[in-house]
């Protein structure tokens, strides 16, 4: 089984010494670099590069520079997606955003997880677990979403939160670790 296949199954894999994964990250980061250096007025160029980088995009998407990802092909964004500056998506596993998702500045979505066992970690082993974000979700600035988390429809994640576990729909959640503080009445 290849390291990429192990990764896709959530098993320990080595991303640091596998040439296929290294080459894919280099390619994605070259595209991110190109994207981040386009003029803001080059809306068509930005859209073209996003559609080239990401697995799936809806219409009306905007990611303000800078934007960085590991592979790009594991990222799906729905309709009417907006991210402010400095978005980082470590997409070793799938990262799926629904429709009408708004992300504040300096947010990160990290699917990579490193072992607690120091020997495994020093060998460069890691696992990857998907992140899923529902429709109509709003993230305040400086939010971090960790591996394996799902966030329900209509949720609001407060600025500075570290999301370590699933968040249900129709709630406001904040903090480190992020916790539900109130329900949203529809």
pLDDT in tens, 101-125: 999 999 999 999 999 999 999 999 9
Q: How far is CA 84 from CA 4, 8, 163, 168, 182, in A?
A: 31, 29, 19, 24, 25
Residue 185, pLDDT score? 83
Q: Is the pLDDT of residue 129 over 90?
A: yes
Q: Is the pLDDT of residue 30 over 80?
A: yes
Q: Do 60 and 41 contact (CB within 8 A), yes or no?
A: no
54 SS3 class: coil
153 contact partners, CB below 8 Å, separation of at least 6: 98, 134, 135, 136, 137, 169, 170
Q: What confidence tier does 186 reach under pLDDT thresholds 50, 70, 90?
A: low
pTM, entire model: 0.96
- Name the token pair of 104: 């504040």
Q: Does 2.160.10.10 match the CATH number of domain 3-183? A: yes
Q: Give the active site residues.
A: 114
Question: Domain segments of the chain: what residues?
Answer: 3-183
pLDDT in tens, 139-161: 999 999 999 999 999 999 999 99
């Amino acid at each position: 089984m290849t390291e990429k296949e192990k990764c896709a199954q959530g098993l320990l894999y080595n991303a640091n010494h596998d040439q296929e994964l290294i080459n894919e990250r280099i390619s994605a980061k070259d595209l991110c670099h190109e994207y981040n250096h386009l003029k803001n007025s080059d809306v068509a160029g930005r859209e073209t590069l996003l559609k080239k980088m990401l697995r799936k995009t809806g219409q009306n998407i905007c990611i303000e520079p800078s934007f960085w990802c590991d592979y790009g092909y594991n990222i799906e964004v729905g309709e009417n997606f907006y991210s402010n500056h400095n978005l980082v998506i470590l997409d070793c596993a799938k990262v799926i955003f629904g429709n009408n998702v708004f992300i504040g500045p300096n947010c990160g979505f990290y699917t990579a997880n490193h072992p607690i066992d120091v020997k495994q970690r020093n060998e460069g082993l890691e696992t990857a677990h998907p992140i899923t974000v529902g429709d109509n979700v709003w993230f305040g600035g400086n939010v971090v979403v960790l591996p394996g988390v799902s966030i329900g429809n209509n949720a609001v994640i407060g600025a500075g939160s570290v999301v370590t576990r699933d968040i249900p729909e129709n709630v406001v959640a904040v903090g480190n670790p992020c916790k539900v503080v109130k329900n949203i009445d529809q």
